[in-house]
Structure 1
Amino acid sequence: MSIKKAILPLLLLLVFVLESMFSTFVPTSLFWKNTVVAPHFLMIVLCFITIYYNSVQGIYYGLLFGFLFDMVHTELVGVYIFAYPILAYLVYHAMRILQLNLFIVFCIVLASIAALEYYVYGFLTLIGRVQMPAHIFFTDRLLPTLLLNGIFLLLFCFPLRRYILRLSEAMEEKEKRIF
């Protein structure tokens, strides 16, 4: 395996680790009292890979890192292993219809994070693990989560997009040289 092929999995692994350590280094309780804030940086990078690099790779990485996320963070294997690839697939199809500008990408990524949050909330409510009313979920979990991830997206969307586009161009050049 060449180093260029290992860059995306290593980037995703780094984001996965940083996302896991985020609440340790950044005390969100200082900013948002009585709320739960969930960083979904991995979902952001998966969306960018799906949009700017390769949709199939985004779905495969969603499957792989969804499994990893379930194994490390949840008691139920299958919640994120299903959600990440399906959301990557939906993002791919949404971007086939919509224009490929950063504002649309920003909105699609935040919509995918909201869909992920609602999916997990609905699933956990269905099996009885969460007894939170929908309006409390919306104000105390979803809005702060979207705000945090929106800030992350604003800070990193340009460098992340540029980096993934460069990787995509390098892989296309390599494929042209082969054929």
Structure 2
Amino acid sequence: MKKFLLPLLFLFLFLLESFFAQYAPPEVFGRNYILAPHFLFGGILFLAIYAGRKYGIIYAAIFGLLFDIVWIEIIGIYLFLFPFITYLISKIMHVLQTNIIVAFFVSLVGIALLELGVYEMDFLIHITTLDFMRFLELRFYPSLILNAAFLLIAAYPLKRHFESFADSLRDE
């Protein structure tokens, strides 16, 4: 039963991201910031940290492709970056302690790497005209703050769910 809850959870996070991006006010604190929610990717990173690298990379590839198909004009950016960063984060977590505070900060690093990777790919193929400092000010920092707020709220429930998922896999 828990195996079926996992895709539903990630589908919910995917839809939550979409609703947030669509209905978030364009002006936040008197400025036009670009808020990029990465709730789904944060959940995938927590899955890789607490349930295992294999499941994290599989879900990262599936939802990276889904993300590319639904939102991006070029298929491959998220399909490559989601599993690659998930793999890097899971390798980093083999060195570090697996507690919720470390998982929170390492997941934020993963989200930061995703933002930087997407910006660099968009800049290389001339989709964006933002220079790097403007990108940091308008999108990177506000997006990190938004995703940190989400992870603060969702970290403990995600941790508990993925630990129980990992336990159910061991019991089978």
TM-score range (shorter-chain normalised) is over 0.9
Match of residue 31 from structure 2? 33
Deviation at 1:25, TM superposition (A): 3.7
In structure 1, distance between residues paired with 2:5 and 2:17: 18
* Partner residue in 1 for 2:57: 59
- Pick from 80, 83, 102: which aligns with 1:82? 80
Q: Which amino acid is the alignment partner of residue 79 of structure 1?
A: I
Corresponding residue for residue 47 of structure 1:
45
Deviates more, 1:119-128 or 1:100-109: 100-109
Give distance in 2, aligned partners of 1:153 and 1:29: 22
Aligned-partner SS, 1:29: coil
TM-align CA RMSD: 1.2
TM-score, structure 2 as length reference: 0.95
Which residue of 1 is the match for residue 160 of structure 2? 162
Tell me the amino acid that sits aligned with residue 14 of structure 1. F
Amino acid of the structure 2 residue aligned with 1:16: F
Q: Normalization by structure 1: what TM-score?
A: 0.92
Cα shift at 1:32:
6.0
Q: Work out the percentage of aligned pairs sharing the same amino acid.
A: 38
Once the 2 structures are TM-superposed, how far is the Cα of residue 29 of structure 1 from its aligned partner?
Answer: 2.2
Unpaired runs of 5+ residues, structure 2, are: none
Structure ID, larger Rg: 1
Q: Are the aligned partners of 1:32 and 1:144 in contact in 2 as well (CA < 8 Å)?
A: no
CA distance in 2, matches of 1:7, 1:156: 16
Matched with 1:117 is 115
Give the superposition deviation at 1:30: 3.5
